[in-house]
Amino acid sequence: MNMKKVFVILLQLVVVANSYAGIKKASIIDPVSKRRVEVVEGELLVKFRHGTDKAAMSMTNKNLGGRKKSEIKHFNIHCIKIPAGKTIEEMIELYKNNPDVEFAEPNYIRRAFITPNDTNFGSQWGLHDSSDNDMDAPEAWDIDTGTSGVVIAVIDSGIHYNHEDLTNNMWENFLFS
């Protein structure tokens, strides 16, 4: 993941955390992952290009029917309330077609540190450890939890084939068995 995307996700967390109480959630199909994701209903995050003056930003919002709800001034990012009758996807396209806009995307709802339903998760220090000597599994799971098209090879004689998380996902290469 590139630094720009990490930075954007962190900013989204700040915007969502500041306005999370009482929000209405919606779900859309994320254009990148093709998965259903939660977003704040009727809101976008729009980043204007460096050098765009406040009047141009305001005029863009007015012309497209968006209303600035909040702003991260240093980064020219506006949280936009979209007008009734327009979808998030329609408004993203309208903003993306404006030369003053660097990007427009849904106001994604991200949850930091959701613990899996594995009762032994806390004892698996390699997945998530407070000293940060770990693989940051929960942070990775916030980005993607995998698909059936990905094959992972585990070369280990100590696998528990009948474990509920593995039993329906095991594959054996009969060429080498």
pLDDT tens across 56-114, in order?
999 999 999 999 999 887 788 999 999 999 999 999 999 999 999 999 999 988 765 56
Q: Which residue has the higher pLDDT, 78 or 14?
A: 78
Distance CA 82, CA 106 (A): 11
Is the overall model pTM greater than 0.75, yes or no?
Answer: no
Of the CA atoms within 13 Å of residue 166, those in its CB half-sphere come to 11
Using alpha carbons, list the distances in angstroms from residue 8 to 4, 12, 94, 137: 6, 6, 20, 20
Identify the weakest region by mean pLDDT among 2-6, 40-44, 95-99, 134-138: 2-6
Using alpha carbons, list the distances in angstroms from residue 89 to 17, 27, 37, 106, 176: 23, 12, 13, 8, 48
The pLDDT value given to residue 63: 95
The pLDDT value given to residue 24: 80
Confidence band, pLDDT 50/70/90 cuts, at residue 21: low
What are the respective helix, strand and coil percentages of the chain, to the nearest 5? 30, 20, 50
* pLDDT tens per residue across span 45-58: 999 999 999 999 99
Whether residue 17 has pLDDT greater than 50: no
